[in-house]
Amino acid sequence: MHLAPNDLLQGRYRVQALIAQGGMGAVFRAVDERLGNTVALKQTLMSDPQLRAAFEREARLLAGLHHPALPVVSDHFTEGDGQFLVMQYIPGDDLASMLASRGGPFPLAEVLPWADRLLDALDYLHTQRPPIIHRDLKPQNLKLTPRGEIILLDFGLAKGELGSVGSTGGRSLFGYTPQYAPIEQIQGAGTDPRSDLYSFGATVYQLLTGEAPPDALSRAAALVAGQPDPLRPAHLVRPQIPAALGDLLQVTMAQSAAQRPASAADLRRALQQAAAAPSVPPTMIAAGVAGSAGQPTINMARPGAAPTVQTQGAPAQASGSMKWRIIGAAAALSVGVLVAAVFFLLQLLTGGAVSGQGSSATATPRPTIELISATAGAAPEADAGGSRSNPLPVGKTAQIASWAVLVTGVTRGDEAWNLLYETNSNNDPAPEGQEYLIVHVKARALVGSDAGRDLYPRLTSERLILYAPVAAVTPNQRPEEYAADSEHNIDFPYLVGVGEGKLILHVDDLANSDTKPIFVAIDQGAAITVDPALRAIKPTALGKDLREPAAIGETVTTEDYEVTVREMVRGDEAYQRLLEANSFNKPPKEGTEYLLAFVEVRSIGTKDETVMVSDSNFYSVVGDAADVEATELKYASLVEPEPTMPFYLYPGGQSAGWVAVAIPKDTPSALLVFGPSFSSNELNTRYFAIE
């Protein structure tokens, strides 16, 4: 149902203007002609009867909410093929726009009252029966009233999908924004109130520092690569922030939900203490144990709260792009993300272990899994499965400290796609040149879910690329809650190259950096080793000096990479391509324009490990400036055209994708820079001329 200015709905709501639009609906400013006030009219388009019923339930629930930090939902109705929410209209810019226009962070004295009010609102939502999880808290969804009071909205259209067509009793209709979402939400493993607390922490971090925190997938990728967490404490980014508050935000953005505060109320109390005691770092203690005098106490999160309904959100965009489809590269977000490229289509299904027809993780008899020793968590024999060059053979159990995993079968190609489509018709088909591969495993939990462990199997192939599970709904999803010594059938879906072979599964625990992965062959005889010929490749000087940048088509050789820029597009054409990739890509800031570059990257390292290549490895500088650092324009937060980054490369592996950066407009001396995040910048940084 297409709406235009002056359209009248229900005989009372006169449409005035479009506020935001997505693939499944839009938000409009309208006038209630019966009462004479301005309202926000949110339209969601859906035809599935179950989703319509879910909308009706959520609309009724939202209409019953009353809190000063939440917009009032005054009406809901269905007209044509659209479902509508009528909400309080809050004029003005959101905090993300205000942050951009002011060119720096907000004062601490302004942010703290906002944060306190938001936590009070989250506590109100989370203590409803059933609890309400917002799932998309971010600066774009925060506005100030004319009186300067913060309001939590969801006008920015969610980038996730509308939801699966299975049972809708425990899931929401809307999505999330990757940069502020916790890892469990991105993985589709389910959300609970602690997921909102992560998003709260990421939001407050940006308001206080002026910088968006690294997304959870990039952080997971660093962990997988054995690198330090790229999330810098807020008080190190901006020294004016009390150390106690910086430490508290780190805790709030813990990768494991079990390590975050247990509730918004607990976090609110800790925030008040941290703000009052800036010289004392926050102490995190187990629930029920008193904290030291003067130190903020954070109750440890208690696992188990089941995901429920979500707060009002703008209609989700139906993105055909696979951006964000592969955790695959932390996993390898294959063609869409580590939140963007190779990975996750921003349509990660929100319900966690929700599937259309199959049950999630069903318990099965135990005898099929042979533990390496009677002691749970015992390490395997020295060389058995310890590397890709010597994986466990097909049919053997891969055991780490928290899980024992046996591969029971593989489904790929058309058969895999048919299975996914039958399970949930919202699953997307594989992009050109790729196919689905589903690894079926029987997994025994050696510890319970309260231990905060996260089974995270990835694949390496003959293409020397690391793949992570994609966000597709399978018949047997990973369990959210499980007891020690329980067994489960689980399906892990991947996107791989058509016919790609030599597949090796990495059985790993993403939540435990001390766990070394165990490798098991999926294809008979599969083994991968580092090519000794790579040792003969030496770095060259091409592009190393910004005064002598490499040209398009020239391959630069660094200590660890070979990089070639194949194509560049700038200005209006670049922005048009970005809009075609995602209509919510924002225009460039005044005085700048976008540059799109198609880049090939090959890993030439010689260590038996994978490295991540991300769009965040690229930025621009003005080459003739005396102080290059002062002229850097860091990578823009944009959704690039397909194929995208990031991707994970094993030595010898090569892939390519589009990157987008901002450059000074009409500045001939601007250069594109490649500077890997997890490698020595001095040895790997290279400059490319912009044409």
For 125-158, letters b (16+ CB in 10 Å) and e give bbeeeebbbbbbbbbbbbbbeeeeebbbbbbbbb
Sign (positive or negative) of CA dihedral 145, 149, 154, 157: positive
Cα separations in angstroms, 689 against 435, 548, 608: 36, 8, 33
User: Rounded to an integer, what is the distance from CA 209 to the centroid of its chain?
Assistant: 21
| β-sheet bridge partners, residue 562 | 557, 602
Radius of gyration of the chain (CA): 25
Q: Which residues contact 541 (CB under 8 A, 6 or more apart)?
A: none
Report whether 635 contacts 615 (CB < 8 A): yes
Q: Which residues contact 415 (CB under 8 A, 6 or more apart)?
A: none
Instruction: State residue 79 phi and psi, 5-degree precision.
Output: -145, 125
Cα separations in angstroms, 287 against 165, 219, 262, 263, 282: 38, 27, 8, 11, 15
Report whether 462 contacts 507 (CB < 8 A): no
Amino acid occupying residue 325:
R
Instruction: State residue 20 phi and psi, 5-degree precision.
Output: -155, 155
Which position has the token pair 């005989």?
Answer: 11
Instruction: Report which of 345, 609, 652 is spatially closest to residue 495, judged by C-alpha positions.
Output: 345
Rounded to whole angstroms, how far apart are CA atoms 154 and 146?
19
In three-state form (DSSP H/G/I as H, E/B as E, the rest C), the secondary structure along 162-175 is: CCCCCCCCCCCCCC
Strands (E), 424-472: 434-445, 458-460, 465-467
Q: How many CA atoms lie within 13 A of 155 on its CB side?
A: 30
Helices (H), 210-260: 216-224, 234-237, 243-252
Question: What SS3 class is residue 632?
Answer: coil
Question: What SS3 class is residue 264?
Answer: helix
Q: Which residues are catalytic?
A: 136
Amino acid occupying residue 592:
T
Report whether 343 contacts 648 (CB < 8 A): no
Report whether 430 contacts 495 (CB < 8 A): yes
Instruction: State residue 445 phi and psi, 5-degree precision.
Output: -80, 120
Instruction: Report which of 337, 434, 389, 440 is spatially closest to residue 648, judged by C-alpha positions.
Output: 337
Residue 80 Ramachandran class (φ > 0 left, ψ -120 to 50 alpha, else beta) = left
